[in-house]
Amino acid sequence: MNMTVRKLHEGAPAAAAPAVPAAVVALPAPKRAPAGEKLLAYCKMVAANVIPPLLVILFLVALWEMLCSAPGASLPPPSAIIKNSWELIADPFYDRGGLDKGLFWHILASLQRVAVGYSLAAVVGVALGTLIGQSTWAMRGLDPLFQVLRTVPPLAWLPLSLAAFRDGQPAAVFVIFITAIWPIIINTAVGIRNIPQDYRNVAAVLRLNPIEFFLKIMIPAAAPYIFTGLRIGIGLSWLAIIAAEMLIGGVGIGFFIWDAWNSSLIGDIIVALIYVGIVGFVLDRIIAAVGAFVTRGTAAS
Amino acid sequence: MGAYLKLDHIDKTFTRGSASTNVLKEVTLDIEKGEYVSIIGHSGCGKSTLLNIVAGLTGASAGGVILDGREVNSPGPDRAVVFQNHSLLPWLTVYENVRLAVDKVFSGTRSKAERHSWTLHNLDLVQMGHAKDKRPSEISGGMKQRVGIARALAMEPKVLLLDEPFGALDALTRAHLQDSVMQIHAALGNTILMITHDVDEAVLLSDRIVMMTNGPSARIGEVLEVKLARPRKRLDLVTNATYLKAREAVLKFLHERHRFVEAA
């Protein structure tokens, strides 16, 4: 009996996942069959998800190293970046005053601007989206305007914003706001318009007042759409802040990149880009997770 | 004073652009308190429109609805509707769906504890107390419809409106629910107006069956009284002469005199 179980465990990984034998062989032999099987299955799942991207990254880094190691290459290879920008990679928290800070502080400054601009966009966007989703007249009046304005590139707003606010900080926040708001408005409006007549009938029979209807029917029913808009919005905000900061200067990851370019520190730029990418990814996942939590049940009706 | 629920010369015409369709014509019906009345007819004859007019979800073009001596023309919890597709709010649990209705209707008159126990009481009434913390997506179609019934009952409506409540269910589940509705009707004495297209269901459950002619301009073709003693037992009725006769009468009306013409 015991023998058979053992055999099964030794045989299964090789048969099921021949591409990644290394990760599975390293497992200690399971003492109790059910627990061991669970652990094995879990490790297999992790291996299947982690190993392919890891291999791709390794391959790409190797390719990059090869291509950029030639004399006269315009971009530095990874090994040179690690050597030259080690301080930046190793300590993101240093602060020597002025603009000479670790990447953490630059990212934090950018995130603060995004937080203010994006929060404003979320509140105003959901409110306006509800208005044009619910009222045909508001939609007829505002929709053409929105459709034109939403195609204006974020940076095109910056000069106007600087002229209006006469200061870089609120100008950058405004650019975030105006960039993030359109997908939020449009998705909220679609969500509100798509509320099933059944829910409206229920609300009518129960005689919910407009505030109750808004809170108990509209917002939950439209939540999946609203969160789609919020997710697109956070992505666009992060895109826009980098560009806006390049122009307004001061502490912020966008200006850091521009500054590095002016100082010909190409390695610093690449390190900063990796940070920007990871932060953008995390922001997107946070909104997605909040959305999944808030809309639990709604989508699976 | 007249009947408890009175449908008085109801006309309904839908207008879209220049085209207008007369759906209902001169529908008049008196329903007594505690009576179970079914409306049967081919699909498209306007029976759902009629129910929506009674519920107040659709306005009548002419005529009106009088409930307990008062004209009603907007929706309200005194005419609770059990919708065909249950219409539970998917983001609320079974309990919360019923509680929403209870809170709305009894917020001024009952304490929080009373509302809580009233919610549970109604869930128990439809045998759904065990699933109170589940979400609608986690329970079967029949169970959803039970919760829909509990929500409607919990409003203590003067009249309960059932819009093809069992139409989307399989035959066995439907039979279970019909039995439940009969028990509830026997216990609480509700006044019930039900839309159906199932002849057996109509005969089994109803005191009276209202047969609608085909649209456009549908009207009440015939009203059949089902003189069967309650409680009614599904199995006993299979050979019951009164039952068979009533069934035959409805079938004859639907399939001989008012055959549904697909092209029309």
pLDDT at position B258 is: 73
Inter-chain residue contact B56 with A204, CB threshold 8 Å: yes
Average pLDDT over residues B74-93: 89
Long-range contacts of A286-295 (CB under 8 A, 24+ apart): A287/A227, A287/A230, A287/A231, A287/A234, A288/A227, A288/A231, A290/A227, A291/A223, A291/A224, A291/A227, A291/A228, A291/A230, A291/A231, A294/A223, A294/A227, A295/A220, A295/A223, A295/A224, A295/A227, A295/B91
Nearest Cα to Cα of residue A203 among A192, A217, A190, A189:
A217
Q: Which residues of A touch B59 (CB under 8 A)?
A: none
Average pLDDT over residues B16-40: 89
**Residue A295: pLDDT over 60:** yes
**Residue A54: pLDDT over 60:** yes
Nearest Cα to Cα of residue B67 among B57, B55, B81, B82:
B55
pLDDT at position A15 is: 43
Taking a contact as any Cβ pair under 8 Å apart, which residues of chain B between 3 and 42 contact chain A? none
pLDDT at position A195 is: 92
> B1-78+161-264 adopts what CATH topology?
Rossmann fold (3.40.50)
Burial group, residue B181, by CB count within 10 angstroms (0-12, 13-18, 19+)? buried
Nearest Cα to Cα of residue B40 among B227, B203, B173:
B203
**Residue A4: pLDDT over 50:** no
Q: Which of B89, B95, B96, B138 to mutate to test the interface with A (most CBs of A within 10 A)?
A: B89
Nearest Cα to Cα of residue B102 among B82, B91, B116, B88:
B116
pLDDT at position A297 is: 56
Inter-chain residue contact A220 with B89, CB threshold 8 Å: yes
The 10s digit of each residue's pLDDT in A117-162 is 999 999 999 999 999 999 989 999 999 999 999 999 988 999 999 9
Average pLDDT over residues B206-226: 88
pLDDT at position B148 is: 92
pLDDT at position B234 is: 86
pLDDT at position B229 is: 85
Report the 10 Å Cβ neighbour count for B129.
16
Kindly report the backbone phi and psi dihedral angles of residue A225, in degrees, each rounded to the nearest multiple of 5, phi listed first.
-70, -45
User: What HEC string does chain B produce?
Assistant: CCCCEEEEEEEEEEEECCEEEEEEEEEEEEECCCCEEEEECCCCCCHHHHHHHHHCCCCCCEEEEEECCEEECCCCCCEEEECCCCCCCCCCCHHHHHHHHHHHHHCCCCCHHHHHHHHHHHHHHCCCHHHCCCCHHHCCHHHHHHHHHHHHHHCCCCEEEEECCCCCCCHHHHHHHHHHHHHHHHHHCCEEEEEECCHHHHHHHCCEEEEECCCCCECEEEEEECCCCCCCCHHHHCCCHHHHHHHHHHHHHHHHHCCCCCCC
Report the 10 Å Cβ neighbour count for A169.
15
Average pLDDT over residues B29-43: 91
Q: Which of A192-201, A239-248, B1-10, B128-137 has the lowest mean pLDDT?
A: B1-10
Count contacts between A and B (CB, < 8 Å).
62
Q: Which residues pair with A17 in a beta bridge?
A: none
pLDDT at position A31 is: 52
Average pLDDT over residues A228-252: 91
Q: What pTM was estimated for this model as a whole?
A: 0.76
Start-end ranges of CATH 3.40.50.300 in chain B?
1-78+161-264
ipTM of this predicted structure: 0.86
Residue whose structure tokens are 């299947």: A48
Strand order from edge to edge, sheet including B70-72: B19-31, B5-16, B62-67, B70-72
**Residue B2: pLDDT over 80:** no
Q: Which residues of B36-52 are buried (b: 16+ CB within 10 A; e: fewer)?
A: bbbbbbbebbbbbbbbb
The 10s digit of each residue's pLDDT in B176-194 is 889 989 999 988 888 999 9
**Residue A228: pLDDT over 50:** yes
The 10s digit of each residue's pLDDT in A13-42 is 444 444 444 445 555 555 555 778 888 899
3 state DSSP class of A274? helix
Nearest CB partner across the interface for B104, out of A198, A207, A297 = A207
pLDDT at position A119 is: 96
Q: Which of B87, B97, B151, B160 to mutate to test the interface with A (most CBs of A within 10 A)?
A: B87
Report the 10 Å Cβ neighbour count for A46.
11
- Residues A174 and A157: beta-carbon distance below 8 Å: yes
Average pLDDT over residues B75-99: 90
* Percentage with pLDDT > 90 across chain A: 50
pLDDT at position A7 is: 47
Question: B141 in contact with A at a CB cutoff of 8 Å?
Answer: no
